[in-house]
Structure 1
Amino acid sequence: MLPEMLRLSYQHRAFYCYVILSVWIFLLVAGMYKYIGVDEKTYTQGRRPPSDISLREFPRNLKLDLKTKKIFRFCNSPDDINSGAEGKVDGNLTLEGILVFIRHGDRGPLTHVRNITTVNCAKDFGGSSEMESVYLAYQSFLQNVSSYSRTAWTQFLGPFHGFPMLPADSKECKLAQLTGLGVNQLLKTGLLLRNIYYNKLNLNNGTLSSKDVIVYSTRYRRTVQSAVALLYTFLEYDNFGNLAKINLQESQSLTFCNTDCACSAADKFSKQHSKEMAEHLRSHPAVANLIKQAGNVVFEMPEQAQSTDPNSLRDALLTYVCHNAPLPCIDLEVQQFCVKTEHVTSLFAYTEWEAKQHAKSRSQRKYGLLRAYGLLRDIVSHMLRIVSDAKPKVVLYSGHDKTLEYLATALGLVTDRFSMSHYASRFIIEVYKMNPKNENHIASDFYFRVVINGKDFTQDIPFCKNVNYFSVNVHNRPDKTDKIKAETKLCPIEAIIRQLHDDYFAPFNATNFKDACSIRKHG
């Protein structure tokens, strides 16, 4: 009997092992099929009908992690536009004026990209009912203002009087044109600046004039529309009174260089830097191959598809990423190739690394210094007018990412974050007056701060580090149980004047713009 029981026990054990092994093999095969199947469906598939487009990857449906957050930062949703260190200086100081530099808002791609009809560039309020009501009020304002005050509106727009002030009322992304999202970004920025500066600058006293607010824009629809959207929420909501007192002025260059634009040495340094960037890309053959493959999918124009510029491809991909659109695919005779989300994250990781090399480049720094000289001269000129006349109160420059990059270079802010500024970035210089016991003010009583996207960068400016003015502010804690001391460091205006006149051209072994721009001087 015992031998029989042992025999049955062994049989049962073998059967159980067989069942467990079978289940394990089934799960393994199923898992491998699922993994391979998804991979195949995403990378290469047979032709699919247009109705199947929902199977493609949607960037915003990704789980937010460190990599994707960095990518979405470039989109700069209106929900992410919040105040920071702006205007937070108390003590024995009075805010006298601000110089505001902005990059235009979200726009369509700069060149033709594939599947553009799947990208919805209509206005996006980010779920904010407040921003929706502001946008509708702005829309109504623009529709009515030209009818009841055509002369004043034309005078306000000046050289831009023929420009439409709102993007085309269409879901389609227009090449290089501001989108509804871009308008909302600047409306939100204007609200933010109004809350911080409007009362501090006494703009509410009813005496606003063209001497109080000066506005410059490059001759692109997206920069003009961005400036007007910001001014609308910054200066007023429901009437044309304030805007009618302002005149928009045109800059012929994205650097706002005025008469200091032509510079042969700058072109030479730009070419040197381009060679450096090409060398960096050659040292990363996998990235170069990715750019080539993804470029063929993203760009419709053959000459653009052959481009090896990672930043052009990054810019084009933002059109899909920032508008929650499917990443593009290209149909071949047998297969369909699609850009994958890991391609996007890999490309952005490389451009982030490249930006760090960009910040270290001596040729790029020299190029930026020469390009920004005219703008820095204009800034100092406005500062001196604020010192002597207490006007202008606000100077607005509506420009591009390169505008902000060159300005940062001119101030010695050499870091990778300024070579990749997001849409609707804001760069603000605040001018303060120290309040002495008597009323006789001199230049040494004036100071400035630099606040970029809400962060105070004054202490990162090399010529400000050893010449600071300390403003100590004491605040009550919310529970009123204790007091908080906050120390703010400002830079004397004399320091930026000295930098411009005495030290600016030291890297070129020159003392003036003409000599610094001479190719013969630089070999």
Structure 2
Amino acid sequence: MFFRNRFLFLLALAALLAFLSLSLQFLHLIPVNPVKEDGLNSKNRKRIMPDPLTEPPPIDPIYEAQFYCNNPTVPERSMEGHAPHYFKLVSVHVLIRHGDRYPLYAIPKTKRPNIDCTLMPNRKPSHPQLEAFIGHMSKLGSEAKMDSTLSGMPRYPSHLLCEMGELTQTGVVQHLRNGQLLQDIYIKKHNLMPNDWSAKHLYLETTGKSRTLQSGLALLYAFLPDFDWKKINFRHQWSTIFCSGNCVCPIRNYYLGEDQRRQYSLRVTNIRLEKTYADMAKIIGIPTKQLRASNPIDSMLCHFCHNVSFPCTMNGCINMEHFKVIKTHQLEDEKERQEKKYYYLYALLATHPLLNQTVNRMQRITEGKSEELFVLYSAHDVTLSPVLSALGITEARFPRFAARLVFELWKDEKKNKEHFIRILYNGVDVSSQTSFCRDYNRRYNKPMCPLEKFVHFVKQDMFSPFNSTNYYDACRRRLF
């Protein structure tokens, strides 16, 4: 009996010690492995899960490329038009990038991707309103008011083999979908436009490229189906940053140059990228420098988005590994661009004229001096990208095809008729990510941002990094 009790006692004691040891290891009070004097584990244990606080997820270039293509058949959630019931929608301001296009550059000595730019409703991707859109665009006479630069442009793409930079059927469908989505929310749900709307309720502006005009028309047609051409007045904007009459800005150009030097430095130090360019150049049979100058990623993205094989020669084929290396570098460049701040300073000065115009328009609307309800700027990636940067939305992806940035102006019908804004990027509410509303959202946990915060940012805060109080001085004051 004595030995049995002693055995049970020792067994219980061993179990208790084992439990305490495991508990201390779990709480990291004692190390799992012995630690050497240099602080390294004696065994290189494989970690199962990365530490989310220190290790960002690896970049997936294929996923990012698919997101950039923006397949219009993939369902999309949208947060536009969400507000408490006592808020009234006053106006909507939309900045878009044109839809999917044919490459701007060709890879030398290779066959161009065979993409058909005619519009055919029975060819995928399609849209329920595509056939009606083609018919309505074909009926255009002299009734539409357009600046002379735009009046001679085709209203929709029509070449059997796309021309360089031409909008594709995918691009048209992308913006028909955008327009239908905005119509469902802003017109059907919030009654933004009256039934007897007229030209005074719209402000439409586009750059002088057919792809931006056609993208704008596609979105507008789905937003206001079978619109009266007499009520449409598209204005031409010659600048891709929409700076209108305020484009002279030496300091803006200086920071753009600094960012381009940063880009160059990052590229030449990327050994894997340079080897990839050299391998591709060998396949094609041209100098590496010539290949690099042709910006091959532009053409390769077209192949990728349209599921067309990459070019081949007698020496071999450009392949997915080449594409992944170049796309990965592109993503790394975007990340570094956010960190170095040269682009941010460029963006503040580049986008001030456009944001100032938006703020002024909103203020006139709140004062009853303007009746513009829907504003559309049809533009490019080089338009949207600096706007996102200037607003402080650092986590935003580079503008994909048919990207949309929406500014909603609301009135609080319950509280002194105060005005608020919401900012949405591709349907996601990013208001709380902006530099001027981040702290307000944290402090008050409100779903919207006061208009006065946006006004103060554009009229004052945008000049602070340049030790200036106005756009003219900020553009000319030397900081170096």
Distance (whole Å) between structure 2 residues aligned to residue 299 and residue 96 of structure 1: 59
User: Does residue 456 of the first structure (1) align with residue 456 of the second (2)?
Assistant: no
Give per-residue Cα distances to partners, 1:380-414, cap 9 Å, x unaligned: 01111221226311100000011111111221222
- Of residues 131, 142, 146, the one that matches 1:151 is 142
| TM-fit CA distance, 1:219 | 0.6
User: Does residue 315 of the first structure (1) align with residue 315 of the second (2)?
Assistant: no
Distance (whole Å) between structure 1 residues aligned to residue 327 and residue 453 of structure 2: 37
Distance (whole Å) between structure 1 residues aligned to residue 383 and residue 301 of structure 2: 20
User: Does residue 254 of the first structure (1) align with residue 240 of the second (2)?
Assistant: yes
| TM-fit CA distance, 1:313 | 2.7
Q: Which residue number in structure 2 is paired with residue 435 of structure 1?
A: 413
- Of residues 449, 458, 470, the one that matches 1:491 is 449
| TM-fit CA distance, 1:470 | 10
Distance (whole Å) between structure 1 residues aligned to residue 384 and residue 466 of structure 2: 22
Distance (whole Å) between structure 2 residues aligned to residue 112 and residue 222 of structure 1: 18
TM-score calculated relative to the size of structure 2: 0.81
| TM-fit CA distance, 1:80 | 2.8
TM-score calculated relative to the size of structure 1: 0.74
AA of the residue aligned to 2:419: F
AA of the residue aligned to 2:414: P
Q: Does structure 2 retain, via aligned residues, the 8 Å contact 1:156–1:244?
A: no
Aligned residues: 419
- Of residues 191, 196, 205, the one that matches 2:185 is 196
Q: Which residue number in structure 2 is paired with residue 509 of structure 1?
A: 467
Give per-residue Cα distances to partners, 1:307-357, cap 9 Å, x unaligned: 2x8xx33222111111111101233xxxx2211111112221221111100
SS at match of 1:248: strand
Q: Which residue number in structure 2 is paired with residue 284 of structure 1?
A: 270
Which one has a larger percent helix, Structure 1 or Structure 2? 1
| TM-fit CA distance, 1:283 | 2.2
Q: Does structure 1 retain, via aligned residues, the 8 Å contact 2:278–2:288?
A: no
Distance (whole Å) between structure 2 residues aligned to residue 317 and residue 299 of structure 1: 17
- Of residues 349, 352, 361, the one that matches 2:328 is 349
AA of the residue aligned to 2:135: S
Q: Which residue number in structure 2 is paired with residue 140 of structure 1?
A: 135
Q: 1:313 to 1:490 in 2, by over 3 A?
A: same
Distance (whole Å) between structure 2 residues aligned to residue 163 and residue 97 of structure 1: 29
- Of residues 47, 57, 78, the one that matches 1:84 is 78
Q: Does structure 2 retain, via aligned residues, the 8 Å contact 1:371–1:406?
A: yes
Q: Which residue number in structure 1 is paired with residue 359 of structure 2?
A: 380
Gaps of 5+ in 1: 1-64, 472-486
Q: Which residue number in structure 2 is paired with residue 183 of structure 1?
A: 172
Distance (whole Å) between structure 2 residues aligned to residue 136 and residue 93 of structure 1: 37
RMSD: 2.7
| TM-fit CA distance, 1:173 | 2.6
Q: 1:464 to 1:396 in 2, by over 3 A?
A: same
Distance (whole Å) between structure 2 residues aligned to residue 294 and residue 263 of structure 1: 39
Q: Which residue number in structure 1 is paired with residue 380 of structure 2?
A: 400
Give per-residue Cα distances to partners, 1:120-168, cap 9 Å, x unaligned: 5555879879x4442111112222x23xxx2313x25764111101112
Distance (whole Å) between structure 2 residues aligned to residue 184 and residue 393 of structure 1: 24
User: Does residue 426 of the first structure (1) align with residue 384 of the second (2)?
Assistant: no
| TM-fit CA distance, 1:169 | 3.7
Gaps of 5+ in 2: 1-58
Q: How does 1:66-81 map to 2 (within 5 A)?
A: 67-80=61-74
Q: Does structure 2 retain, via aligned residues, the 8 Å contact 1:214–1:396?
A: yes
Q: Which residue number in structure 2 is paired with residue 364 of structure 1?
A: 343
Distance (whole Å) between structure 1 residues aligned to residue 156 and residue 75 of structure 2: 21
Q: Does structure 2 retain, via aligned residues, the 8 Å contact 1:89–1:488?
A: no
AA of the residue aligned to 1:425: A
Q: 1:496 to 1:132 in 2, by over 3 A?
A: closer
Q: Which residue number in structure 2 is paired with residue 410 of structure 1?
A: 390
AA of the residue aligned to 1:274: Q
Distance (whole Å) between structure 2 residues aligned to residue 393 and residue 292 of structure 1: 53
Q: 1:446 to 1:158 in 2, by over 3 A?
A: farther
Distance (whole Å) between structure 2 residues aligned to residue 118 and residue 128 of structure 1: 15
Give per-residue Cα distances to partners, 1:342-377, cap 9 Å, x unaligned: 111222122111110011122111111111111111
Q: Does structure 1 retain, via aligned residues, the 8 Å contact 2:116–2:168?
A: no
Q: 1:203 to 1:509 in 2, by over 3 A?
A: closer
SS at match of 2:143: helix
Q: Which residue number in structure 2 is paired with residue 475 of structure 1?
A: none
Distance (whole Å) between structure 2 residues aligned to residue 173 and residue 300 of structure 1: 25
